Amino acid sequence: MPRSQHPASRPNHHANNTATSFINPWPSAALPTWTELFQSSFPLGWYSKATLHGHQKARKIKVVSPDWGHPNADGLWDADTTATTPTTPQSIIGTWLGHASALVEIPPLQNNKNNHSAPDGQKEKAIHLLFDPIFSTRAGPTQYQGVSRFKGPPCKVADLPGCDAVFISHNHYDHLDVASIKAIFKHFPHAKYFVSLGIKSWLLATIKVAKDEVVELDWWQDREFDISSLGLTAISRNSLDQIQQKTKKQPTLKISCVPAQHNSGRSPLDQAATLWCGWVVERFSSQDQDPSSSSSSSSSSSSSSSSADQAQFTRKGAIYHAGDTGYRRHTASGSPICPIFTAIGERFGPLDLCFMPIWRGGSLGFISYLGLRLSHHDIPAALHASPTDTADIHLAVTARNTVGIHFGTFVGSENETVEAVTEFADACEQRGIRWLDEGGEGNEDGEVAKEDVNGRAGVLNVGESLVVDIL
């Protein structure tokens, strides 16, 4: 039974004293009034294919066989890289697996042959983080119920190069899929699971994962982990300073649960009974461990410390997965916006690689299947960011590279996909955000190019990867 809290002391997103009901505590999440609904334009219309598909950035999203960012990869890092693999160990590789699913590969702690903790003659294994996995044909309580995929998955769970940690943003069926979770547990039994409040009990009842392998967090809570050859080992805060003094190491990974503006529920009876969230994963390293730190530490966020030795430790990579989130009550200008994204940017930015939703859920896909267009500018928008909203979120969190997700998979037609891509491209251009297809992002000295001061954003094919150098 969750411990009861006094109303004055509980977080403002908790709707009761037992952490079993939650709310979005911002004006930007308020439901529209009857007046606003009556003043809205009729949301249904017809697609103009000539205009939509004739857009300069219009593209169909394909399903491609993943190469995980480096063909011929074995999931391990070596100093002897080829032209088709990252040229330095300081790269993060993100692969979009469709909808909100993404696999992120981050480099190990040590990366040169003369200074690593792996046994002699062995390479060190990269770390693989899996977000909101769904490989099923349908998003629903069974494979005979729920919305069906328009684009298939690019691979099976067994084809993943690794899976050390699984992150769940909330319990909607398109983000928490039973069949996918069971397959992950079968093929990667040692993976850890990171979930928001209320989901741990569901996970323990669904798969026979050890209780200690599931980490349940509230908004703004975090956990710090060290990476060993056997996986992720938690570091208690009480012993963290002592460990740092003895080993001169920062915790390799810091995992933070951050707010999102959304909701939860798998039936009418459990609405908002579990929390929804986003995730930030930060990798820390030191100059002793990382031969490239001295050349790139100026653009990395330094960890706080109280000693000269600890001042050497710098953040070497940050990933943000927004889960599913809204941004404002309505797309009209002047509508209240959610303040959490600026707070995330101030606390964690700049963020090297971000995955952010650019479209609504798939339950309304039948409308485009019928050939109609549902305008997201004329329906309540508090719980799902529009492509334009996501461009604003990109700037608010100070993202360096953003991959648009949560589109093109559970939709009714290709028109929905193209509309999301073209609106996202236009919004990025208007805000001075470079489109991913246009390259850019840095130079040989590790400095951000002048034209990329607002970062880059764009979309990938399902199964395609983006390699991001840590500046």
pLDDT of residue 20: 95
Binding residues: 173, 384
Beta-sheet strands, E only, within 99-221: 101-106, 124-125, 127-131, 138-139, 147-148, 165-167, 192-196, 214-217
**Within-domain flag for 134:** yes
Is 0.75 topped by the overall pTM?
Answer: yes
**Within-domain flag for 132:** yes
pLDDT of residue 287: 56
pLDDT of residue 116: 38
Average model confidence (pLDDT) for the chain? Answer: 81
User: Domain containing 323 — which CATH number?
Assistant: 3.60.15.10
* Number of domains within the chain: 1
184 contacts 163 by C-beta, under 8 angstroms = yes
**Within-domain flag for 383:** yes
**What's the distance, Cα to Cα, between the start and end of the chain in Å?**
46
Please give the radius of gyration of the chain, using alpha carbons only, rounded to the nearest integer: 22
**Within-domain flag for 64:** yes
Tens-digit pLDDT profile for residues 57-78: 888 899 999 999 976 544 333 3
CA dihedral 362, 149, 133, 99 (to 10 degrees): -50
CB 212: neighbour CB atoms within 10 A? 8
CB 38: neighbour CB atoms within 10 A? 8
**Within-domain flag for 152:** yes
**Within-domain flag for 410:** yes
Is pLDDT above 90 for 216? yes
Q: Are strands 127-131 and 165-167 parallel, antiparallel or unpaired?
A: parallel
**Within-domain flag for 29:** no
Tens-digit pLDDT profile for residues 420-448: 999 999 999 999 999 998 765 554 444 55
CA within 13 Å, CB half, 298: 6
Regarding predicted confidence, which is higher, 111 or 383?
383
Question: Which residues are within 8 A (CB) of 247 and not within 5 positions of it... i.e. 6 or more apart?
Answer: none
pLDDT of residue 145: 84
Tens-digit pLDDT profile for residues 369-403: 677 777 777 666 788 899 999 999 999 999 999 99
Residue 215 CA to residue 205 CA, distance in Å, equals 15
**Within-domain flag for 361:** yes
- Domain extent at residue 183: 41-442+455-469
pLDDT band, residue 88 (cuts 50/70/90): low
- What string of DSSP letters covers 312-337? G-EEEEEEEE--S---BS-SSTT--B
pLDDT of residue 413: 85
Mean pLDDT of 49-58: 75
